[in-house]
């Protein structure tokens, strides 16, 4: 098996920088759009065979160094009994707005509630056996709380912030419950065969630094602690968190994923302690001509030279209108420019 990705996560020597792409199985691929058209979005992650097929699509096209389970970020919400629709983004029928709503969230047996996730992982491990490692994932407790309280996407995050600022005790109780569910969910993914996991702190960046330290970081850290010692590297993806990178550096993760806002060497400095980093090409670079893509790939690799380890990725999920040809250039550029 190509273990470049796992080796880099552990800070071990590699022949070249490994690469995977956030949302690599997604709408920019015509074969993905075709499956989604035929089966609808929900079936793609709720039916293990389809989830496995979608997961493998980018690997059949590009020489990537890891697979990431195709799933939806709100699966833990489904496991907790929330009804999630897609319109086209996720919408919750009954968002969490009060202390009573929080109290209704009970203990969850994730393996019984969303067995399709773990079935898909087992299926994929068989298919991937001699190819590349499989990454599992979950939203951080705070990010999951944002979805549950807003009831879907948001621009101003008014409901979740009203809760945080207005009823901090209720917010803490909600986060505490989501921490337990998230830890169990990732534990179960690892037990089913996920060889690494990524915790997405996609919305932590909407918080001021004080609130981040109080309401987001401690719960993410607890999740990461709970799944340490299971043999799977733990990646913590911190989006728009340049103001709180020193705090992110205390998450306890094995790898920190960062967005495109800071060069990797500068992100490393702000993190305080040495970390393997993942990232961080601006996904919009893939709209540019090949020579520019190569130039920007070179800059990212340069900024990673002094790190204890580097996993190449975009600084955010790949955009749906990205030309497939640009991804080919990216894959080729990372491989050729990083070969030791």
Residue with smaller CB distance to its own copies, 30 or 320: 320
Considering only the stretches 29-37, 51-59, 158-166, 187-195, report the one whose residues sit in contact with its own copies under the rule CB under 8 A. 158-166
Considering only the stretches 72-80, 98-106, 191-199, 209-217, report the one whose residues sit in contact with its own copies under the rule CB under 8 A. 209-217
Q: Is 212 a catalytic residue?
A: no
Q: Give yes or no for a contact between 141 and 184, defined as CB atoms under 8 angstroms apart.
A: no
Catalytic residue among 27, 173, 209, 270: 27
β-partners of residue 84 are 92
Residue 329 to residue 289: CA distance in whole angstroms: 9
Residue with smaller CB distance to its own copies, 86 or 165: 165
Pick one of 260, 265, 324, 332: the residue that binds its own copies (CB under 8 A): 260
Contact status: 310 vs its own copies (CB under 8 A): no
Q: Where are the alpha helices (DSSP H) in 82-137?
A: 99-103, 110-113, 115-128
Q: Is 147 a catalytic residue?
A: yes
DSSP letter (8 states) at residue 234: E
Which residues are CB-neighbours of 238 under 8 A, at least 6 positions away? 201, 204, 205, 244, 245, 248, 256, 257, 258, 259
Contact status: 284 vs its own copies (CB under 8 A): yes
Residue 96 to residue 149: CA distance in whole angstroms: 5
Sign of CA dihedral 119, 125, 128, 132: positive
Contact status: 99 vs its own copies (CB under 8 A): no
Q: In which residue are the tokens 């967005």 written? A: 259
The pair of three-digit structure tokens given for residue 95, joined into one six-digit string: 């968002």
Residue with smaller CB distance to its own copies, 14 or 293: 293
Site string for its own copies, 101-130 (x = CB under 8 A): ------------------------------
Contact status: 288 vs its own copies (CB under 8 A): yes
Catalytic residue among 4, 23, 97, 177: 23
Considering only the stretches 54-62, 81-89, 135-143, 207-215, report the one whose residues sit in contact with its own copies under the rule CB under 8 A. 207-215
Q: In which residue are the tokens 């493998």 written? A: 56
Beta strands in the chain (DSSP E): 67-68, 84-86, 90-92, 134-139, 196-201, 234-238, 255-258, 276-281, 310-314
Catalytic residue among 147, 185, 212, 219: 147
Contact status: 157 vs its own copies (CB under 8 A): yes
Residues that bind its own copies (CB under 8 A): 156-158, 161-162, 164-166, 205, 207-211, 240, 242-244, 260-263, 266, 282, 284-285, 287-289, 292, 296, 299, 315, 319, 321
Active site positions, annotated: 23, 27, 36, 72, 147
């Amino acid at each position: 098996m190509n273990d470049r990705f796992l080796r880099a996560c552990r800070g071990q020597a590699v022949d070249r920088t490994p690469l995977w792409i956030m949302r690599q199985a997604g709408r920019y691929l015509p074969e993905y759009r075709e499956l989604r058209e035929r089966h609808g979005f929900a079936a793609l992650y709720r039916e293990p065979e389809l989830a496995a097929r979608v997961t493998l699509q980018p690997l059949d096209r590009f020489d990537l160094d890891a697979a990431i389970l195709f799933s939806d970020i709100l699966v833990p919400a489904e496991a907790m009994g929330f009804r999630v629709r897609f319109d086209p983004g996720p919408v919750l029928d009954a968002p969490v707005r009060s202390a009573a709503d929080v109290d209704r969230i009970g203990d969850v047996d994730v393996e019984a509630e969303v067995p399709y996730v773990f079935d898909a992982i087992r299926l994929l491990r068989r298919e991937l056996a001699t190819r590349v490692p499989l990454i599992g994932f979950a939203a951080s407790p705070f990010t999951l709380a944002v979805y549950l309280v807003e009831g879907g996407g948001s621009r101003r995050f008014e409901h979740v912030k009203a809760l945080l600022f207005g009823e901090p005790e209720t917010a803490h109780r909600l986060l505490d419950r989501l921490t337990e569910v998230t830890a169990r969910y990732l534990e179960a993914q690892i037990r089913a065969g996920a060889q690494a996991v990524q915790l997405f702190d996609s919305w932590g960046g909407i918080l001021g630094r004080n609130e981040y330290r109080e309401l987001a970081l401690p719960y993410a850290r607890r999740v990461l602690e709970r799944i340490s010692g299971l043999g799977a590297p733990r990646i913590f993806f911190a989006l728009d968190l340049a103001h709180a990178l020193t705090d992110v550096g205390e998450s306890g993760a094995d790898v920190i994923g960062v967005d495109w806002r800071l060069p990797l060497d500068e992100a490393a400095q702000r993190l305080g302690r040495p970390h393997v980093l993942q990232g961080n090409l601006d996904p919009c670079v893939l709209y540019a001509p090949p020579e520019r893509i190569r130039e920007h790939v070179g800059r990212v690799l340069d900024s990673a030279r002094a790190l204890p380890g580097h996993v190449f990725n975009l600084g955010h999920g790949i955009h749906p209108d990205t030309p497939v040809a640009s991804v080919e250039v990216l894959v080729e550029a990372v491989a050729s420019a990083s070969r030791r």
